Structure 1
Amino acid sequence: MSFPWAKPYEPTHPLMKWMDEKLPIPRLVYNATGPGYPVPRNLNYFWNFGVLAGAALVIQIVTGIVLAMHYAANASVAFNSVEHIMRDVNAGWFIRYAHMNGASMFFIVVYLHIFRGLYYGSYKAPREMVWLLGVVIFLLMMATAFMGYVLPWGQMSFWGAQVITGFFSAIPLVGEPVREWLLGGFVPDNATLNRFFSLHYLLPFVIAGVIILHIWALHIPGSSNPTGIEVKDEQDTVPFHPYYTAKDGFGVGIFLLIFVALTFFSPNALGHADNYIPANSLSTPAHIVPEWYFLPFYAILKAFTFNFLWIDAKLWGVIAMFGSIALLFFLPWLDSSPIKSSNYRPLYRIFFWILVVDVLLLGWCGMQPAEQPWVILSQLGAIYYFAHFLVILPIVSRIERPLPMPNSITEAVLAKHATDATSASATA
């Protein structure tokens, strides 16, 4: 987005002038993250999660490269190579735990980033492409995480690969060939590890590339904000640096404190104990579960327990699992309300919080065995999930009566400050 009031880049040092003429990287950084990029003045801490996701990706790439130097993608030694990293490589335990918990931290901030977008309507015009690229990043993350979970070659890794890839065989005609192509054979083995290791190493760099497109698409319309009102003049914005670099720096500090605490004091809290048992194709774990960040979708997958029409339950589960993510691509057009922020949409806000509870319920059901009452709860949760996007959201966007909105971002900020000052005076 072009801001006529943005301060242009004017290098003063001879070296920077030469660099700007030959390879204008400093100008690019200045216009993307410096005073050359004005942002809405009312952004809150929910706008920190994009930067935190970038920090998590950097951690994953750096630790992943180090781990790749010591890992052996062979079914006979993969488990032992991970134990070698943990026990014999200098600081190997730290690198492995940082990578393992870094994946969880990555998904935490991305889920918060997604729900912030849902609450504040960041998927609406003119930022549809920003949202679509974000969903692509989410899909790439899921594929990368699944392949990475298989690499330690523990019991849960092996059987997770066996079960999840097995669902592809439910697809008529092409399902079984696709499954064999993914595994490189009929069961998870050496070929599977080699394929998954190669793709797990490659995809984070693909994610980084899509993130660049994501940021590029964001800079065309500019950042959204909690009011959902577009920037009108210079008073509505402040330079990204130093205001939001300081704010993001504080967020990164909190993120790293939580990440370090998890890595040092409870590194296996989000993992599964069975993955410290070597993979055994002759011994099935009592309860096979994926990593926690897949649990809501796993619950949707397990919710289908009966055949319907000419399609069997297994295929319905696969369709629903992928459909639950594919729905997010159509969200900008399913919600036709001209109002972006839920702060001014009281009816939508109620259903948003019901959706949050529903996703948490699905996550809880996903880690439970396939028995009652968890099956019926999964089915009810899956019904509401699809109803929210396909039925409730389109209806609410047409019948809802939004609250009065301020004329500008500045007006909203000043009104909030006046309210806070009045409250403080009354308290005093």
Structure 2
Amino acid sequence: MSFPWAEQYRPKNPVMRWLDEKLPLPRLAYNAIGAGYPVPRNLNYFWNFGVLAGAALAIQIITGVVLAMHYAADSAVAFDSVEHIMRDINAGWFLRYAHATGASMFFIVVYTHIFRGLYYGSYKAPREMVWLLGVVIFLLMMATAFMGYVLPWGQMSFWGAQVITGFFSAIPIVGENIRIWLLGGYAPDQAALNRFFSLHYLLPFVIAGVIILHIWALHIPGSSNPTGVEVKGEQDTVPFHPYYTAKDGVGVGVFLLVFALILFFAPNYLGHPDNYIPANPLSTPAHIVPEWYFWPFYAILRSFTADFILPAKLWGVLAMFGSILILFFLPWLDKSPVRSSNYRPVYRIFLGILLIDVLVLGWVGGSEATPTYLILGQISAAYYFLHFLVILPIVSALERPRPLPNSITEAVLKGESGSRMSETAVGGEQAAPAE
């Protein structure tokens, strides 16, 4: 992104000037997070969640590396090695709980970050690549979290791996071979544990690399903002530092406070008690359930109970992966020229319904598969796909959005409701007149 009004970095200290000439790290930091990176002046606290996601990833990598020094990826002693960490290693209980709680906090932050993108249209041009890389990060997070859940080698770890990898066998012709390749055998055992541990250790660094690409892609068009109006000039921006570093600092402080409260007072609240029982291949738990952040997708997975052309099991697998892959096509499914839901009253209503629908899917996914919950899950799963494939394209084509402000500055200084409105919306298409 080219900002002609952005100040060029010129180190004053001779040492920094020499370093900048040989290895331009000072210039990179200045342009990425310093006063050299202008940011829209009207960002609210929803824009803190990108930084919070980075902080959560840092916590996971640091605690994970230390835990790996004491963990044994051996099916005979994996459960005991986790107990050894909890009971015998100095601050081992803290590291283990921080890592487990940190995974939940990471998903809470990322889900909020995704919702912000949906509400403010952050997936629209010219930021499609930012959105697509974000979905890639989400997929990598899910893979990493699933493999990490297997590592304690408790009852829910073992049977979760057995059930989830078993769904790959539903794929015609190659499915069973894929499952055997993933597990290194016909059932979760030593080979599977070794593979999952290796990938669980590796993937966070892959996520960090994709996050760098994500930020790089963001810096080309610049940050979006609550109005959805593009930056018009210097008056619409403020330097990232010190304004948003201070604001992000407040967000990180609140995040760490909530994290500490859960870590010290309810570290097992978001986990499953069966995982404190050693894995037993001969004893199936009464209710097999993944971690809470997978519940909506698990509800979609088990919503298919009857064969129709294809086996029900295959339909469930396709629907589960499709519920995530559909996000890749979101920039092209929503054709409205207006980004922010603040100016799209009809879309905002359906987005609220989608949020409730996802919460219902989560509730169903964490509950037993009784007929009532199955029917509720089927209705919620159907609405999920209906929203993206039918409702969103129709609403974006027929909705009459409110007129947009002429600029970010006008919206900030006069208030969005009282500002003088532009007659044209983003993209040059005429917006509806104010009623």
Same fold (TM over 0.5): yes
1:39 alignment partner, SS class: strand
Partner of 1:381: 380
Partner of 1:284: 284
Q: Deviations over 1:99-149 (max 9, x none)?
A: 000000000000000000000000000000000000000000000000000
Partner of 1:345: 344
Name the CA distance, whole Å, in 2 between partners of 1:369 and 1:266.
24
Name the CA distance, whole Å, in 2 between partners of 1:377 and 1:210.
36
Q: Map 1:299-338 to 2 at 5 A.
A: 299-309=299-309, 311-338=310-337
Q: Is residue 297 of structure 1 aligned with residue 330 of structure 2?
A: no
Offset of 1:222 from its aligned partner? 0.1
Name the CA distance, whole Å, in 2 between partners of 1:26 and 1:137.
27
Structure 2 unaligned segments of length 5 or more: list them. 420-435
Give me the TM-score of the superposition, normalised by structure 1. 0.97
- Alpha-carbon contact 2:169-2:179 (below 8 Å) kept: yes
Partner of 1:425: none
Q: Map 1:348-427 to 2 at 5 A.
A: 348-416=347-415
AA in 2 matched with 1:389: F
AA in 1 matched with 2:395: V
AA in 2 matched with 1:25: L
Q: Deviations over 1:154-203 (max 9, x none)?
A: 00000000000000000001100000000000000000010000000000
Name the CA distance, whole Å, in 1 between partners of 2:61 and 2:322.
29
Q: Map 1:54-133 to 2 at 5 A.
A: 54-133=54-133
- Alpha-carbon contact 2:304-2:316 (below 8 Å) kept: yes
AA in 2 matched with 1:329: F
Identity of aligned residues (%): 79
AA in 1 matched with 2:269: A
Name the CA distance, whole Å, in 1 between partners of 2:415 and 2:154.
54
AA in 1 matched with 2:367: Q
AA in 2 matched with 1:112: T
AA in 2 matched with 1:288: I
- Alpha-carbon contact 2:49-2:112 (below 8 Å) kept: yes
Offset of 1:38 from its aligned partner? 0.2
Offset of 1:418 from its aligned partner? 9.3
Q: Is residue 269 of structure 1 aligned with residue 269 of structure 2?
A: yes
- Alpha-carbon contact 2:64-2:99 (below 8 Å) kept: yes
Partner of 1:426: none
Partner of 2:223: 223
Name the CA distance, whole Å, in 1 between partners of 2:86 and 2:268.
13
AA in 2 matched with 1:412: A
Partner of 2:210: 210
Aligned residue pairs total 419
- Alpha-carbon contact 2:405-2:416 (below 8 Å) kept: no
Name the CA distance, whole Å, in 2 between partners of 1:127 and 1:381.
30
1:373 alignment partner, SS class: helix
1:294 alignment partner, SS class: helix
Name the CA distance, whole Å, in 2 between partners of 1:87 and 1:226.
48
Name the CA distance, whole Å, in 1 between partners of 2:371 and 2:252.
42
Structure 1: 4+ residue segments shifted above 3 A: 417-420
Name the CA distance, whole Å, in 2 between partners of 1:228 and 1:283.
54
2:39 alignment partner, SS class: strand
Offset of 1:404 from its aligned partner? 1.3
Q: Is residue 51 of structure 1 aligned with residue 75 of structure 2?
A: no
2:371 alignment partner, SS class: coil
Name the CA distance, whole Å, in 2 between partners of 1:267 and 1:36.
41
1:358 alignment partner, SS class: helix
- Alpha-carbon contact 2:357-2:380 (below 8 Å) kept: yes
Offset of 1:415 from its aligned partner? 1.6
RMSD: 1.0
Offset of 1:12 from its aligned partner? 0.6
Give me the TM-score of the superposition, normalised by structure 2. 0.96
Q: Is residue 21 of structure 1 aligned with residue 21 of structure 2?
A: yes
Partner of 1:259: 259
Offset of 1:419 from its aligned partner? 6.5
Name the CA distance, whole Å, in 2 between partners of 1:61 and 1:388.
36
Offset of 1:338 from its aligned partner? 0.4
Offset of 1:345 from its aligned partner? 0.2
Name the CA distance, whole Å, in 2 between partners of 1:118 and 1:139.
17
Name the CA distance, whole Å, in 1 between partners of 2:292 and 2:199.
21
Partner of 1:147: 147
Offset of 1:8 from its aligned partner? 1.1
AA in 1 matched with 2:390: V
Offset of 1:372 from its aligned partner? 1.9
